[in-house]
Amino acid sequence: MDESETRTDDLVIPDEATEPGAAAVRGRVLLYAALAAVAVAAIGLGSWAVLQAPLWPAYSHPAATAVGKVLHVRSRLSTDAADYAPYVLDSAVATALADDSAGKRAGDSSAIPDWKRPYVSMETSAGAVDVIVVWKRSSVQTSWPEANRFKMVLDGGTWKMSDAETLDELSVPEPMRRR
């Protein structure tokens, strides 16, 4: 290698000051290196996306989103049944949640512990899914269940809760996977 060349690892790039056209060669080399880096990154991200994709629908399903929204309303101890109404099938449930929040608010008690992101565990039919909420352990709410299953039904284009049940640690289902 002479003084008119710059060596980068095993790649010899001509010196722009002494050789005509060297700038074009250097530009192409840098372009190819950048394209190779993008390709490697895309392949790496692609494999990551493939590994993550099967669970993606479980967490992004509109029913799981609706459960997350009602949990936020509940955690604020909303005493207005209208705040719960868009998320529950039966208006009596909305009223009961609002009344329960009023009682907890008067006693300086939190309505629910923190929770992990809701997810769909299974599609029971074209218009019904089970959404799971796993509760974070709390020293204040020690009697709270490990998780709850919320039965969600599609009602006029909106996902609403039709029923709920508690789950113990051994019966918490996994997130739904892509078919």
Query: Which CATH number fits the domain that encloses residue 164?
Result: 3.10.450
Cite the DSSP H helix spans in 11-160: 22-52, 56-60, 62-75, 81-84, 91-106
Average pLDDT along the chain? 80
Comparing CA positions, the residue from 57, 75, 50, 54 lying closest to residue 129 is 57
Q: Are residues 76 and 143 in the same domain?
A: yes
Q: Which of 1-5, 27-31, 36-40 has the highest mean pLDDT?
A: 27-31
Domain of residue 42: give its range. Answer: 5-54
> According to the model, what pLDDT value does residue 150 have?
98
Q: Are residues 34 and 66 in the same domain?
A: no
Across the range 19-46, mean pLDDT stands at: 53
Report if residue 177 sits inside a domain: no
Sheet with 147-155, edge to edge strand ranges = 119-125, 128-134, 147-155, 158-167
Report if residue 160 sits inside a domain: yes
pTM over 0.85: no
Report if residue 128 sits inside a domain: yes
Report if residue 176 sits inside a domain: no
CA distance 58 to 123: 10
Report if residue 179 sits inside a domain: no
Q: Are residues 49 and 130 in the same domain?
A: no
What are the backbone angles phi and psi of residue 125, rounded to the nearest 5°?
-160, 180
> According to the model, what pLDDT value does residue 53 have?
46
Q: Are residues 18 and 82 in the same domain?
A: no
Report if residue 178 sits inside a domain: no
Label residue 156 by pLDDT band (50, 70, 90). very high
Query: What is the DSSP code string of 30-68?
Result: HHHHHHHHHHHHHHHHHHHHHHHGGGHHHHH-HHHHHHH
Q: How many residues does the chain have?
A: 179
